A and B are shown apart, each in its own frame.
Chain A
């Protein structure tokens, strides 16, 4: 469809490109602080500087002399994050779900940037049930999928933003004559659904690797989602289902970042500003909290 629609304009546009000068005023450089933190990893903050739009984008200047602090507003304690390498500042502590934190990044010669976020509570997966009698065969490639029902309770009265993903733990292929490889890797497994209550274009944008949605349609209710999972994940020996509860900031940032990514190169799209909650600078300070269910997969 998209190709069909773009057929005429693209043909017409071919060969009609011309580099032009547009007088874009140089904006003052600001500090960028990025922390998208998960509840199961230690605090990290990436600190860099913004750049003029017409500079090459591949590298951003690292800031190695920043004073980075994270204050737990619930416990009234402050954590210093020393510089680790490149842009990164890190500590050896993890965030605590339900606590509110304030980020403070001070760099000589720049405005100090701050931001506050709350680590969301974990939402438990109540049930993950396979139904091997409910199968679907995808046309054309004859791929078979089986139903997986996932149930959880949505807390009432608050806007929760979820993300569901399924992972498989693989053992790499063994080839004759090579040393036995006992390592395992974890990768996403594609999962599909046709539940309109959890559909959003932004939330299903990652090729069915994960699904993000809010509880607008089922606030305070028990929610069961039926996913179809392809059965051709032959070397998987363990499956891990992950339900993440994202903070509102996290969700807004992910949605708008995806919108901007999608709009780039589309002559018919409206430009999209990416959400930022960093006062005095750019970037994001947001978190998500996981709950996990896993099970072993019998050898096929």
Chain B
């Protein structure tokens, strides 16, 4: 093994004689933050590379004079000219345009949309995320991702349906750690606090081999590393929550920290109302999250990170009442619903040589869902007191330990090789119900935990073949072992781009994916009852392949335009059976689902994005079809998936009028969701009573999802007003969600009005104004 590894490393050195490597880090000069994806281009030969997610770059060039340009969107580029005579280490710090006056900042060629082999991906600048309008003023990363073409959502929810896939088919990585439930407030907000985030990338297809485990998308989120230069803070207060982030050096240019917290105060706000109304049961709700990160540079070649996230939601009611039933009786009833994630990651970056970079990651991820109910009655007799109590709780969740080792090897500008391996130990707890009472011991039902191992290995190479063609070829191999059953797969991945001219390229990709874990989820809201379950002998791993073809064009250096078409085929899907409801907690998960489903999705997407300048934003359009087939559903016939939307449009932009004021708006339009409605009714008999005259109608439904809700559209706007303070800057933001108060359909029911029946549509959000105050120093 060691011999093979050595030979692999030596081959390029033999082939590319008289070449030297320039390597180092590209960082923000003011904060020391890594500039992920920064471009490094030798203008003399037009050969280039990009910085990886840790800001490291490596480029190998012939012995000659070089003219290196380091650039990054929103930053002033730096140009270095020198004669390359030996391997050279150069760390570069770029200056943000915000710190300069009237500097024209442009990205250079290497990271432009038409240059990369990666297709079906979007990088969303975090400043854009923060600038766009937000529901109740809560800036939300996933809500912005929902505005991208190919991504669909339901009203208010943070659930994502990418290119016809389900919400379980998205790999959400926070600093490389999977997040299993990204919902706060029943799915209306996500767990990602934008103030703690540095970068987010959405990949919808053409998956590089380094990603695996989900069918439909990767949402790769990197937290900020923590300011290495000086103390920096920011925070905000809005209608429902407050948040604060602090980052800075522990030892300048050596060790930094970041802490960020957010908490809602809905519970505090409703308490006076509850007291005024004298509500017997006091309800409450809150959520919080807390991010922290430590970043330490051991030496130039070694760096470690320790990051952690913990967050939780809790909804509860507290009831207490004394009555007199001959004797005084005190009744107490408390119930709570709590869910949350805890994740932690330790990463060790190591530069093993000018061409070889490694990253060792160990992670922990846990998602817990917990319902508890406690009821007690105390009866005060004249001579004694009698107390009885009943306690029940339901717990479910998933816990992962994982270790991952990744290498990046750049033997020459025409090759960028990545390879690595990982192992994950999953522990599934699909639900345990425990109860006790005074006269019975503790009883636990359904407490079986399931352990599973998921292993993977990958290798990929980004290969430049001549001036026009660039190919990313790779393979991802994975295996899953659960309850004595083993599954494995080899998933080839291929992406290619052909440069038609410097501004235009044609791209194509093919990817197969396999997913060993399933999420039982409701169709609409992101509720915490979502349950992760493993593949079993009865429920096989989900599989998919996707092909995509498209063009990418840079127009007038500011506008990125992509047009893509795709076809995706999925197998072994699961779906709720007819009549199953996620609200029905008496059913066990495996009894609610139909298995062995098939799915297909195809369509076209157009995306025009402007990332720089005073006016930034995008227009997206999707034309798509997505269908499902299960033997147990719809008589085995294919039917449209609930989120089959023929047309989907999003327009989002921000405009900076001046240094003190900016305006942002987002408008979305989507074809109505596919729904199933009854078409006929007939008289039923009543079970066990053939002589009864009692009647109730039975509904005969049409084909599954054969009707459409009305189309969905809304406009959100926000104005922001900045003020310079002695200590920093502050901002007032006022905005409105659903400005023209469109009654968008959420649910349709059959109601009776007099002698006729009608369909009634229920909506969630009318116009919702928001105001927030934020600051940074």
A residues with a Cβ closer than 8 A to B are: 1-2, 4-9, 12-13, 16-22, 24-25, 27, 30, 32, 34-38, 41, 44, 46, 48-57, 60, 86-87, 136-140, 142, 196, 200-201, 204, 210, 253-254, 256-257, 259-274, 282-284, 288
Contacts and interface: CB of A to CB of B under 8 A. Distances in A.
A25 B678 CA distance: 11
Contacts of A17: 760-762
B262 to A, nearest CB: 19
Nearest to A278: B682
Contacts of B681: 50-53, 55, 57
A142 B388 contact: yes
B315 interface: yes
A267 B524 contact: yes
A9 B762 CA distance: 10
B97 to A, nearest CB: 42
Contacts of A261: 696
Interface in B718-777: 743, 746-766
Nearest to A51: B681
A25 B679 contact: yes
A259 B186 contact: no
Given A8-B186, A268-B583, A20 B759 contact: yes
Nearest to B633: A270
Contacts of A288: 688
A24 B760 CA distance: 14
Contacts of A6: 583
B337 interface: yes
B440 A5 contact: no
B439 interface: yes
Nearest to B766: A16
Interface string B590-606: 01000000000000000
Contacts of A56: 752, 754-757
Contact of A266 (B394, B581, B682, B699): B581
Interface stretch (B85-93, B369-377, B423-431, B558-566): B369-377
Contacts of A86: 693
A53 B576 contact: no
In the A-B complex, the 9 residue pairs with the smallest Cβ-Cβ separation, listed nearest first, are A259-B579, A272-B579, A269-B581, A34-B685, A139-B390, A267-B747, A57-B697, A16-B763, A50-B682
Contact of B746 (A87, A204, A260, A267): A267
B762 A13 contact: yes
B746 A274 contact: no
A16 B579 contact: no
Interface in B415-461: 437-440, 445
Nearest to B755: A56
A268 B523 contact: yes
Contacts of B684: 34, 257, 274
B335 interface: yes
B389 to A, nearest CB: 7
25 contacts: A1-B394, A4-B371, A5-B529, A16-B743, A17-B760, A19-B761, A20-B758, A20-B761, A32-B683, A36-B688, A41-B690, A49-B682, A51-B681, A51-B682, A55-B757, A56-B756, A57-B697, A87-B683, A138-B437, A139-B390, A140-B388, A200-B591, A254-B687, A260-B579, A266-B581
A46 B683 contact: yes
B578 interface: yes
A228 B755 CA distance: 45
A20 B710 contact: yes
A53 B527 contact: no
A36 B685 contact: yes
A187 to B, nearest CB: 13
B682 A140 contact: no
A6 B759 CA distance: 21
Contacts of B371: 1, 4
Interface in B564-587: 576-587
B701 interface: yes
Contact of B682 (A21, A25, A48): A48
Nearest to B765: A12
B682 A273 contact: no
B577 A270 contact: yes
A260 to B, nearest CB: 6
A10 to B, nearest CB: 10
A2 B317 CA distance: 13
A53 B580 contact: no
Nearest to B394: A1
Most buried by A among B529, B582, B697: B697
B439 A13 contact: no
A142 B710 CA distance: 52
A268 B524 contact: yes
Most buried by B among A30, A137, A269: A269
A264 B681 CA distance: 14
B522 interface: yes
A49 B578 CA distance: 25
Contact of B699 (A8, A46, A87, A260): A260
B695 A60 contact: yes
Contacts of B700: 27, 50, 273-274, 282
A5 B579 CA distance: 19
A270 B581 contact: yes
A50 B743 CA distance: 34
B758 to A, nearest CB: 5
B303 to A, nearest CB: 43
Contacts of A268: 522-525, 581-583
B755 A140 contact: no
B685 A55 contact: no
Most buried by A among B317, B578, B687, B691: B687
Contacts of A204: 586
A265 B764 CA distance: 16
A5 B283 CA distance: 12
Given A22-B707, A53-B678, A36 B583 contact: no
Contact of B579 (A36, A49, A254, A269): A269
A22 B677 contact: yes
A57 B754 CA distance: 11
A276 B759 CA distance: 25
Nearest to A16: B763
Contacts of B377: 139-140
A201 B455 CA distance: 37
A165 B775 CA distance: 67
Contacts of A200: 591
B579 A4 contact: no
B219 to A, nearest CB: 25
B698 interface: yes
Contacts of A55: 681, 756-757
